[in-house]
């Protein structure tokens, strides 16, 4: 006896896996970034929350966010049920939008830190996520 799967049932399962793949990549980037921030504040490498950091410390934050953004793309590509780079592009656009909102906030509110930092986050979001996705899809 042959078993057939209804196309809608397969699509529904893939949709859920697609959401999980993109969400996992996003949570990896955001979670690792915030966790590292917290650890560096606790170790007193960073000043207490709410106090402005030096440009050098913002450069450190951007450096590990670069690594985490690549990792987020890699995770999304590895978890995608099909078309990994399509999923990675979705994550990259989400990162670009989030980074762009950070730029708007930085220019709208005084004393959030140097303007180059959120610009760097926004400008690197898409290409770094894409690079991680390429690495992840090659490993698959």
**Which residue segment(s) compose the domain that 118 sits in?**
7-139
33 token code pair: 């970034």
- Would you say residue 52 lies in a domain? yes
Number of structural domains the chain divides into: 1
Residue 61 within a domain: yes
Q: What pLDDT score does 139 carry? A: 72
Which residue intervals of the chain are DSSP H helices?
Answer: 7-42, 55-79, 84-108, 116-139
Is residue 8's pLDDT more than 50?
no
Asked if 64 contacts 28 with a C-beta cutoff of 8 angstroms, the reply is: no
- Element spanning 64, H or E: helix 55-79
What is d(CA 102, CA 123) in angstroms, rounded to the nearest whole number? 11
Q: Does residue 1 belong to any structural domain of this protein? A: no
pTM of the model: 0.87
Does 3 score more than 60 pLDDT? Answer: no
> Percent of the chain scored above 90 by pLDDT?
81
Nearest to 91 by CA among 132, 32, 119: 132
pLDDT confidence of residue 46: 97
Establish if 86 belongs to a structural domain. yes
């Amino acid at each position: 006896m042959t078993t057939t799967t209804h196309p809608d049932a397969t699509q529904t399962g893939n949709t859920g896996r697609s959401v999980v793949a993109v969400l996992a990549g996003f949570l990896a980037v955001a979670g690792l970034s915030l966790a590292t921030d917290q650890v560096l504040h606790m170790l007193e490498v960073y000043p207490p929350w709410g106090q402005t950091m030096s440009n050098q410390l913002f450069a450190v934050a951007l450096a590990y966010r670069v690594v985490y953004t690549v990792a987020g793309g890699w995770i999304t590509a590895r978890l995608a049920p099909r078309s990994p780079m399509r999923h990675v592009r979705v994550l990259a656009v989400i990162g670009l939008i989030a980074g762009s909102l950070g730029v708007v906030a930085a220019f709208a509110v005084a004393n959030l830190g140097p303007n180059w930092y959120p610009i760097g986050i926004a400008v690197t979001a898409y290409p770094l996520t894409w690079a991680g996705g390429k690495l992840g899809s090659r490993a698959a």
